[in-house]
Amino acid sequence: MEEPNKVVIGLWDHEEVYLHAIEKIRAKGVQIYESLTPFPVHGLEDVLGYRDSRLHTAGFMFGTVGTIVALSFMTWTMTVNFPLDFGGKPYWPIASFIPITFEMMVLFSAWGMTLTYLVRNRLWPGMVPRIYDKRTTDDRFALVFDADNVASDKLKELRDLCMHEGAVEVKDKQFN
Amino acid sequence: MHAYESEFREPLITGMDKSYTKITDDLVAPTERNSALWWIAVLLSGAGALFFVFCLTWTVWFGIGTWGLNKTIGWAWDITNFVWWIGIGHAGTLISAILLLFRQRYRTGINRAAEAMTIFAVICAGMFPIFHMGRVWDALFIFPLPNTRGPLWVNFNSPLLWDVFAVSTYFSVSLLFWYTGLMPDFATVRDRSKGKFRKWFYNMMSFGWMGTAKQWQRFESLSLILAGLATPLVLSVHTIVSFDFATSVIPGWHTTIFPPYFVAGAIFSGFAMVETLMLISRKLFNLEDYITVNHIESMNKIIVLTGSIVGIAYLTELFIAWYSGYLYEQFAFYNRVLGKYYWAYAIMMTCNVVTPQFYWLKPLRRNLYVTFILSIFVNIGMWFERFVIIVTSLADDFLPSSWAYFSPTWVDIGIFLGSICLFLFLFLLFSRLFPTIAIAEVKAIFRTSSEVAKAERAKKANSPTGGFVGLQHVGPLDKDSKH
């Protein structure tokens, strides 16, 4: 999605009032462009109508890959590529494979999921995020509205709506 | 939000002046001021860490013969230190993962530092087996790498190889868990930084975190699944470390009780190390409101539990040695308790089994001086536990003519003390550059578990509208608001 140049930012200072405000604002049919909070607010994704994250599915798939890689690699080295007799133990000691298979499952799953998380969240060293308001990592809960090509009377309505719903501050911001 | 917490529970954030901004101020403050004490500590521990490097270089240059090992006792301080450090490294993931799954709110005050401790402890731990290999430049071949000798692969039957996989997976997963949790807090530090370099540095560290609802949603999902993965992982790591001994045929090592016994011991020593460090840092960085006596007491309860498990394991081992009717096993344990290393066994028993029992008494459990001393006792005791298991089992083996005694050389001692300095050095750097307490997570429990919120609810409970903190309510909770 294209980032808007002109935005209206509403700031709240209490998460309960904020959650309630989102419900009211969305009920009015107003589109919320972005929502920023200093910590994970319980129930926020529900009031915003976000669907569940599918990260856990990715984690499961990476874990499956790790399990298959570990089991098949150990089987290949010990039965096909270079079978060795270790003190009369079987060439395919499946019980001995359990610890390493488990560790590889965890390793693949954790790394795969974390990398997916970084890519999806656009997080990488050197990424410069657009900062709507510095206090959103401190004590303010923000709602950002796209104000590009919105009539000024509509914007005034929006600002009033935010204030009515308990915002402590509403401001406009222009990015280029 | 309808989070409810019993009013009988003690607050986890004390002080009536707290608000979200105050939490940010307090928790970021250690990264923003310069202290002479910190510089002195960093220089001293840095010098110790250099001595560690020196002793390792000495070892590589002249060989393992510079250690006190002999043909009977081939594993001594090195593997003792390895297991000791790995054990210390268990509390971090335990606190962040298991306590997360159990929804224990007190974890928020201590998880960040405990996870950092885990990472630094595992770094120290890894050094010992790597340098014990002798030719460190060949250390890469502990991994199954393609080679020109066949290719000849590693032995997947060997618990020592499982250990390689377990410890390296544990290290990297702990690192991910720790760092993904740090990103939002780095963003908090970034957004209040003044200097240009500082801003750039913390933005780099935060990976460009914004704090959008979608980011937080994925963050929560990731931390939950990572916690779910890390929980069996942390239990598997020390289980596999114990396999190094348990799958051998040495009397005193060949014991099926080892996995749970080692895991309990690891948690025990890890919590003790967290206490030692947190008691110092809460004082040094004025974090008493976030790491309260309540936090310390909760940790002490875990210490008394795991200490008792370890104590039962010691007694079970003795009983089974007698009950087995196996002469060599009986001798190994007789020798462990009453032999030439009786003093090590006595230190172990005192520090691990006897003194933690003081924590059954509430006044002692909540006494910070007692806690500090006992936490150091536990660390000493747990070091001796590994020493007793490893060295006494080897010293008097099947053949009386090869019985031997282990005396450490200056290199052994230097590497051990040096690793402690390296650990402290890394921890000090962490405590100055990183937020030592998870800021976002502390804020997330502010409305349920802080003294301010509790007072607020109590006031509401007496009011005619009842105890529910409603949506219209805007009170002293929002001191810094414009209402």
The confidence score (pLDDT) of residue B464 equals 53
The Cα of A53 is separated from the nearest Cα of chain B by a number of Å equal to 6
Distance of CA B306 to the CA centre of its chain: 14
Model confidence over B107-166: pLDDT tens digits?
A: 888 889 999 999 999 999 999 999 998 889 988 888 998 888 878 889 898 999 999 999
- Global pTM? 0.91
Q: State the alpha helices, DSSP H only, in B325-367.
A: 327-338, 342-349, 362-365
| C-alpha span between B462 and B384 (Å, rounded) | 56
**Are B144 and A73 a contacting pair at CB < 8 A?**
yes
The Cα of B84 is separated from the nearest Cα of chain A by a number of Å equal to 21
With respect to residue B31, please indicate whether it lies within any of the assigned structural domains.
Answer: yes
Tell me the ipTM for this assembly. Answer: 0.94
Q: What is the largest CA-CA distance in chain B?
A: 86
Decide if pLDDT at A87 tops 90. no
With respect to residue B479, please indicate whether it lies within any of the assigned structural domains.
Answer: no
pLDDT band at A82 (very low <50, low <70, confident <90, very high): confident
Range of the domain at B330: 20-185+227-454
Q: Which of A25, A69, A103, A164 to mutate to test the interface with B (most CBs of B within 10 A)?
A: A103
- From the list B445, B378, B425, the residue with the least C-alpha distance to B111 is B445
Q: Does A156 touch chain B (CB under 8 A)?
A: no
Q: Which are the contacts of B395, defined by CB distance < 8 A and separation ≥ 6? A: B72, B73, B339, B340, B341, B403, B404, B405, B406
The confidence score (pLDDT) of residue B172 equals 94
The Cα of B139 is separated from the nearest Cα of chain A by a number of Å equal to 19
- From the list A88, A118, A87, the residue with the least C-alpha distance to B215 is A118
With respect to residue B420, please indicate whether it lies within any of the assigned structural domains.
Answer: yes
Q: Averaged over A94-120, what is the pLDDT?
A: 94
The Cα of B434 is separated from the nearest Cα of chain A by a number of Å equal to 16
pLDDT band at A112 (very low <50, low <70, confident <90, very high): very high
Q: Does A76 touch chain B (CB under 8 A)?
A: no
Decide if pLDDT at A70 tops 50. yes
Chain A residues with CB under 8 Å of B176 CB are: 110-111, 114
The confidence score (pLDDT) of residue B476 equals 46
User: How many other C-beta atoms lie within 10 A of the C-beta of residue B155?
Assistant: 17
Residues of chain A with CATH 3.30.70: 6-52+130-174
Model confidence over A16-57: pLDDT tens digits?
A: 899 999 999 999 888 899 999 999 998 898 999 999 889 999
- From the list B172, B169, B171, B164, the residue with the least C-alpha distance to B141 is B164
Q: Phi/psi of residue B251, each to 5°?
A: -60, 135
Angle at B321 between CA B315 and CA B326, to 5 degrees: 175
Tell me which H or E stretch contains B192: none
Please provide the average confidence, as pLDDT, over all residues in chain A: 90
Which CATH number fits the domain A6-52+130-174, given the four candidates 3.30.70, 3.40.50, 3.30.200, 3.30.530?
A: 3.30.70
Regions of chain B where pLDDT drops below 70 = 1-5, 462-483
The confidence score (pLDDT) of residue A3 equals 84
Chain B residues with CB under 8 Å of A89 CB are: 157
With respect to residue B204, please indicate whether it lies within any of the assigned structural domains.
Answer: no
With respect to residue B46, please indicate whether it lies within any of the assigned structural domains.
Answer: yes
Domain CATH for B83:
1.20.1630.10
Q: Phi/psi of residue A30, each to 5°?
A: -85, 135
Chain B residues with CB under 8 Å of A164 CB are: none
Decide if pLDDT at A113 tops 50. yes
- DSSP 8-state symbol, A91: S
Contact B296, B279 (CB under 8 A): yes
The confidence score (pLDDT) of residue B474 equals 43
Q: Which residue of A has its CA nearest to B243?
A: A99
Nearest to B191 among A125, A128, A137 (CB): A137
The Cα of A146 is separated from the nearest Cα of chain B by a number of Å equal to 15
Model confidence over B58-77: pLDDT tens digits?
A: 999 999 999 999 989 999 99
The confidence score (pLDDT) of residue A1 equals 59
Residue B330, Ramachandran bin (φ over 0: left; ψ between -120 and 50: alpha; else beta): alpha
Nearest to B150 among A37, A78, A82 (CB): A82
| C-alpha span between B373 and B348 (Å, rounded) | 15
Q: Which residue of B has its CA nearest to A74?
A: B156
- Work out how many domains chain B is built from and give that number: 1
Question: Residue B479 carries which side chain, given as an amino acid letter?
Answer: K
